Structure 1
């Protein structure tokens, strides 16, 4: 029997809570129109996206099953969600930032830009092959990045957001949002990774539930009760929904018609704030400094004449909302450590500061299979 060729990069189990049966409403960005009752099976899907042998697709199904179980449990009784359940949501949210077609498009665009810059710098000389030759290679790289970063977020605080307002949560075809209010506002920097102080990771679960992982050294949740944060104001939900509108690739998904009209209006207001380039390439040329320390200076472009040497830095571009949810507030004395290195300002309890220590965590649902599948 042939393997299923339709691979969902946002699984159906994520979209179903925002749907009616097997049909979901959406706002299509390219057409600028609302579409009612689109089949879920046709959303966020590509033929053989995770390969034709089915290994990676099957490994992802294990994670999706654990996620669906946790969301179902939260829907029945938010207070029943345990820390292991929240850890499942954390793992899924991290995976979802890497597995979407939107992320693969960003990687391919980065590879194309790098290759074009190398061609220009080489001036007809032989050059190495592209960083990524195909979507398959990009998917393999992206899943590998997820596996490498799992231990970099195991120190984040985990909470379930319960929506008690009148406004429902929405989702999208790129729904897991990694952002950092601390870096944007306090450090005046849009460059950050998962290890940095101020990390936030948002994921809508249903119109009435969302998940957040955050740096507890920088933020606290004043309305937190155990691992639940209840939000009652429409503005709080609108701020979380804005992240979806800014980050979506092609479609934003919602349940009811009124939410669709609000989403379309919000998109028109916010469309100018959506990034046009998601990764930036920065080049640094080695200088002729006579000291024993290698030094590099920033340059606008490379030039391979006369044996020049360069370093390349990839800087991700993150969505920056016009407003931040008030459910997380700054601590009076945020704790962070400036490493003085490319790692930047990191969390004081993060693994990069634990000399000689390596996090070892048992995979609760088959990430060992996922590693083998890549």
Structure 2
């Protein structure tokens, strides 16, 4: 049976939540400003052979999407997020993390980093003046960057399972929209920082992703922020201005298109030209050289790579800081939510990649204690019911 060469980097089931008829969706193209009210779902957020021709990554994504589709449908139907430390919690966290790594925008950022770092290193290794003269005219790109990002993202899921989940219920007159890079990371605790604080283990991390015009899911560091009523995992949004502020994260991070449910009125909730230019930047990766002192008087050059810095124009509404941000001492010592757990997951990942432990052992040893306690409680309840 021939493989499907058109690979979606935003799954069709998610786009379908923004559809009226299940087969088309509204589209705003960021390059041209063109609006299409009936764009075919089949041809949106996809590229030929985006995850490679062997079909392995596409097959793995299909399995993840199957579970995620069921979880998101339940959330929309019930108006409730998954219970904390449940299987649905884990499935949702995995999906958001994979979704943030699998898009054309993520691939473009990876290629930008490879191009800048590669050229900087070549300037030190090339000796032929003719080659150095044409270096700026060359472009260095990765082979299948999206497919290469999937395995690391999947293995890093245990790092974000401590984040609290809430569902935002939009009851305003302005709908949520969906960009083609929909799962967005932010860090309001260090808003506007000059270094990246969007690492998965960083203190203050936030995830936000719309799942329909009426709902968006957020994952966040509850030690750093409060959000809504502590007794409820649902936050109602009657304010159109708050919804528009949340939508700006989609406008800022999308590569080509913003999707919306046909029947909504794009001119009413589209940022004006100046605001859109402020939200969107051409450069995603900064690369520069530094000289550092090593072992007393020895000095060496190092290459610094800065990706995913918080955008100063973006402000995450609703969240209230529960703490003052600890100072950023240097890029090697950014504040982490749980340094010991992050190091443990890192060590287990290294052991798995080196073939020291099998996949099954990795999953067991990186299962957070809260999830293990839930599994043991459920097994105890099942055994009691059986023996009773």
Distance 2:119 2:181 in 1: 27
RMSD over aligned CA atoms reads 3.0
Specify whether residues 274 and 265 from structure 1 end up closer, same or farther in structure 2 by C-alpha distance, changes over 3 A only: closer
Do the aligned partners of residues 113 and 353 (structure 1) sit closer, same or farther apart at CA in structure 2, a change above 3 Å counting? closer
CA distance in 2, matches of 1:194, 1:63: 20
Q: 2:92 aligns with which of 83, 89, 104?
A: 89
Q: Is the 8 A contact 1:152 1:194 kept in 2?
A: yes
Counterpart Cα distance in 2 of 1:290 and 1:68: 54
Distance apart, 1:215 and its partner CA: 0.8
Asked if 2 retains the 8 angstrom alpha-carbon contact of 1:351 and 1:357, the reply is no
For residues 82 and 290 of structure 1, what CA distance do their matches in structure 2 show? 51
Find the partner of 1:231 among 234, 237, 258. 237
SS at match of 1:79: coil
Distance verdict in 2 for CA 1:218–1:15, change over 3 Å:
same
Separation in 1 of the partners of 2:225 and 2:277?
A: 28
Contact 2:52 2:147 in 1 (8 A): no
Structure-2 separation of matches of 1:5 and 1:355: 35
- Separation (CA, whole Å) in 2 of partners of 1:339 and 1:110: 24
Contact 1:172 1:251 in 2 (8 A): yes
Deviation string, structure 1 residues 201-256 (Cα, Å, up to 9, x no partner) = 11110001111111111101133543222222112211110100111101001114
Number of the residue aligned with 1:153:
160
Partners of 1:229 and 1:351 lie apart in 2 by 30
The 3 A distance-change label for structure 1 pair 314 and 147 is: farther
Aligned-partner Cα distance in 1 for 2:125–2:214: 54
* Pick aligned residue for 1:98 from 74, 97, 101: 101
CA distance in 2, matches of 1:54, 1:356: 28
1:247 aligns with 2:253: yes
Which consecutive unaligned segments of at least 5 residues does structure 2 have? Answer: 133-137, 349-364, 372-388
Cα separation, 1, equivalents of 2:147 and 2:314: 35
Q: Counterpart in 1 of 2:335?
A: 345
Partner SS, residue 18 of structure 1: coil
In structure 2, distance between residues paired with 1:326 and 1:56:
36
* Alpha-carbon offset, residue 283 of structure 1: 2.0
User: Could you tell me the TM-score, scaled by structure 2's length?
Assistant: 0.79
| SS class of match (1:31) | coil
The structural deviation recorded for 1:133 is 5.2
Deviations 1:13-36 (A, max 9, x none): 111111122111111011112112
TM-score (norm 1): 0.81
CA deviation after TM superposition for structure 1 residue 82, in Å: 2.5
The whole-number CA distance in structure 2 between the counterparts of 1:108 and 1:356 is: 24
Q: Does 1:124 align with 2:119?
A: no
How far apart, in 1, do the equivalents of 2:27 and 2:258 lie?
A: 5
Q: Secondary structure at the match of 1:52?
A: coil
In structure 2, how many angstroms separate the alpha carbons of the residues matched to 1:42 and 1:31?
Answer: 18
Alpha-carbon distance between aligned partners in 2 of 1:325 and 1:106, rounded to the nearest angstrom:
23
User: Which of these residues, 290, 297, 312, is aligned with residue 303 of structure 2?
Assistant: 312
- CA distance 1:7–1:71, shift in 2 (3 Å): same
Note if 1:206 corresponds to 2:212. yes
* Equivalent position SS for 2:246: helix
- Listed one character per residue, the Cα deviations across residues 265-299 of structure 1 (whole Å, up to 9, x for unaligned) are 44652223312111111323354x6628x65xxxx
Pairwise CA distance, 1:120: 2.7
Distance 2:273 2:303 in 1: 35
Range with bigger deviation, 351-360 or 51-60 = 351-360
Question: Cα 1:143–1:184, aligned 2, differ >3 Å: closer, same or farther?
Answer: same
Partner of 1:64: 65
Give unpaired runs (5+ residues) of structure 1.
296-308, 365-374
Name the SS of the counterpart of 2:306 in structure 1.
strand
